[in-house]
């Protein structure tokens, strides 16, 4: 019997200083691959072929204190930098990694609700498949989990 995938079987990671970081508290993620048409119409046949192929991702979640990915992504769009993003299948630890242009970075903060982030990005180049040995840690459960013995925050 085949088991269906759930949304939480997939996570997005961002490479910061040559290390994969899990974006904290992801609530939604999507990927879209689209191809333009090249129309073929001759005396012998007509049809369509592949034109440009565009792959985009969208990631949403709850803004979380001490998440290094959020300021990194904000700075990337402000400074027009490409970002290495990895889509991780948590069941088999397979990955798809590519360089992405951040198209949109949005935060919302309504009274009485959690503050949220939303990121849209377009692939620049090609995808590299791979795998990880473990799922990177997510957001800590409690504030004490991120404080060291001196009361400071660990890096």
Domain count, the chain: 1
Predicted TM-score of the model (pTM): 0.83
Q: For the residues of 112-150, what is the DSSP string, one character each?
A: TS--EEEEEEEE-S--EEEE-SSPPP---SSGGGTB-TT
Domain of residue 19 covers 7-36+49-133
- Rounded Cα distance between 25 and 152, Å, is 22
In a domain? residue 109: yes
Per-residue pLDDT of the chain (155 residues; tens, 9 = 90+): 789 999 999 999 999 999 999 999 999 999 999 999 999 888 888 888 899 999 999 999 999 999 999 999 999 999 999 999 999 999 999 999 999 999 999 999 988 899 999 999 999 999 999 999 999 998 887 665 444 444 444 44
In a domain? residue 95: yes
Where residue 110 sits, what CATH number does that domain have? 2.40.30
């Amino acid at each position: 019997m085949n088991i269906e995938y759930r949304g939480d079987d997939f996570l997005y990671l961002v490479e910061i200083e040559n290390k994969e970081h899990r974006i904290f508290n992801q609530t939604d993620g999507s990927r879209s691959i689209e191809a333009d048409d090249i129309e073929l119409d001759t005396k012998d046949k007509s049809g369509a072929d592949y034109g440009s192929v565009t792959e985009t991702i969208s990631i949403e979640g709850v803004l979380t204190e001490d998440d290094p990915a959020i300021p990194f992504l904000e700075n990337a769009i402000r400074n027009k930098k490409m970002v290495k993003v990895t889509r991780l299948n948590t069941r088999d630890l397979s990955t798809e990694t590519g360089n992405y242009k951040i198209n949109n970075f949005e935060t919302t903060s309504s009274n009485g609700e959690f503050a949220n982030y939303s990121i849209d990005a377009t692939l620049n180049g090609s995808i590299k498949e791979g795998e990880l040995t473990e799922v990177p840690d997510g957001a800590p459960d409690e504030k004490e989990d991120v404080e060291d013995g001196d009361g400071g925050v660990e890096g």
